[in-house]
Amino acid sequence: MLLNNEINVNLGQNSTIVYNMTMTIDLGTIKNELEKRELDLLSPYATKCLESKGRKRPRVDNFPIRTEFQRDRDKIIHSKSFRRLKHKTQVFLSPYNDHFRTRLTHTLEVSQIARTMARALKLNEDLTEAISLGHDLGHTAFGHCGEATLNELLPNGFFHNLQSVRVVEVLEDMNLCKETVDGILTHSWGYKPKTPEAQIVQYADKIAYINHDIEDSVRAGVISESDLPKDCTEYFSSNQSDRLGKMITDVIVNSMGKPKVAMSEEGWYYVTKLREWMFENVYLDPITKAEEAKARNIIKSLYEYYTEKLAAYCDKEDIPQLVVDYISGMSDQYAIRRYKDLFIPKPLAENTNDEALLRKIQNEIH
């Protein structure tokens, strides 16, 4: 590819000489150098781009300046489903306070934590970032409340990690690398990731939401720092930053030079205990859940409405998934707006006196 560069040399006294230079740059060498850098610098356990199992469909690389995993990351960032995360609930429904986390800020915090661990362990940071940014693309409006409601309505159940895979493979057809898709699928606990980068995201997701949900819950007045289990705060610290740092460091130290990423047994014990405490005292707390009945009703009403609406256009067996695809992509505010449009009565348009006057004039003329 030819690039024209113009160089200005200032000689003083308003005298300038302009040199026009033409350089030939082989863009393909940029990607090749990045791939070689992975082979030279990354851990032997890291997933390298040159060893990727590829995509479902081959593609032509017109601008070979990024590795395949970097392309996956960029495809996700530029997707519509990623942008919608900014208005989806993390824990507190439809927060008007800008300091509470949304699904998007959660995703960014997961990405930051995961990249820190990947860099320290010399694993593939680009793959780790791509998985992190895509892991929650299939999450519904109203957080886990919305997910639980759709799980009850959909004949085969609803799971946000499976829906995230459906988003990248079907609804937006991003044609991602198989390693990225595997990481998105297996970020939920109970799955076995095929790469250490995906294992990192499993831990980063838990570390992120436990810590930021504690901070948000304290801000909301649901709990205070002193309420946290004493043995957990003694092990990790009651300070948010210190607690987060110790969890991340635990994973790094325990995984250094090993083929598998894992937290120490003691660290995982206290993480699990803290997570269980959060479920009992925050996630299932009556104050936190006070509005969930309304959110459930919105999701259920929309599901029933669109199921009936599509009956005249689609095969019966296809309707549930089509409806769930639509509803799960909604942000909190869009779901509320559609509910209002469909189920809340609107006032009839009122005729103004001006309109009445015009009609009277027209009648007299005729």
Residues 73-92: tens digit of each pLDDT: 999 999 999 999 999 988 87
For the stretch 230-243, pLDDT in tens is: 999 999 998 999 99
Residue 209 confidence (pLDDT): 95
For the stretch 209-237, pLDDT in tens is: 999 999 999 998 889 999 999 999 999 99
Distance CA 259, CA 102 (A): 33
Average pLDDT over residues 251-256: 98
Beta bridge partners of 2: 24
In 227-285, where does DSSP find H-type helix? 230-236, 240-255, 265-278
Give 1's pLDDT tier (boundaries 50, 70, 90): very low
Least confident stretch, 32-46, 79-93, 183-197, 279-293:
279-293
For the stretch 300-337, pLDDT in tens is: 999 999 999 999 888 999 999 999 999 999 999 999 99
The CATH number for 210's domain is 1.10.3210.10
Question: Closest Cα partner for 212 from 275, 151, 294, 276?
Answer: 275
Work out the burial of residue 196: count CB atoms within 10 Å of its CB; fewer than 13 is exposed, 13-18 middle, 19 or more buried. buried
Beta bridge partners of 21: 5
Average pLDDT over residues 164-191: 97
3-state helix/strand/coil string of the chain? CEEEEEEEEEEECCEEEEEEEEEECCCHHHHHHHHHHHHHHCCCCCCCHHHCCCCCCCCCCCCCCCCHHHHHHHHHHCCHHHHHHHHCECCCCCCCCCCCCEHHHHHHHHHHHHHHHHHHCCCCHHHHHHHHHHCCCCCCCCHHHHHHHHHHHCCCCCCHHHHHHHHHHHHCCCCCCHHHHHHHHCCCECECCCCHHHHHHHHHHHHHHHHHHHHHHHHHCCCCHHHCCHHHHHHHCCCHHHHHHHHHHHHHHHHCCCCCCCCCHHHHHHHHHHHHHHHHHHHCCCCCCCCHHHHHHHHHHHHHHHHHHHCCCCCHHHHHHHHHHHHHCCCHHHHHHHHHHHHCCCCCCCCCHHHHHHHHHHHHHC
Give 138's pLDDT tier (boundaries 50, 70, 90): very high
Name the residue range of residue 261's domain. Answer: 30-294
Domain membership flag for residue 313: no
pLDDT score of 3 more than 60: no
**Rounded alpha-carbon distances, angstroms, from residue 221 to 44, 225, 287:** 47, 10, 10
Domain membership flag for residue 333: no
Overall number of domains in the chain:
1
Domain membership flag for residue 332: no
Give 10's pLDDT tier (boundaries 50, 70, 90): low
Domain membership flag for residue 311: no
Domain membership flag for residue 201: yes
Domain membership flag for residue 227: yes
Domain membership flag for residue 345: no
Domain membership flag for residue 348: no
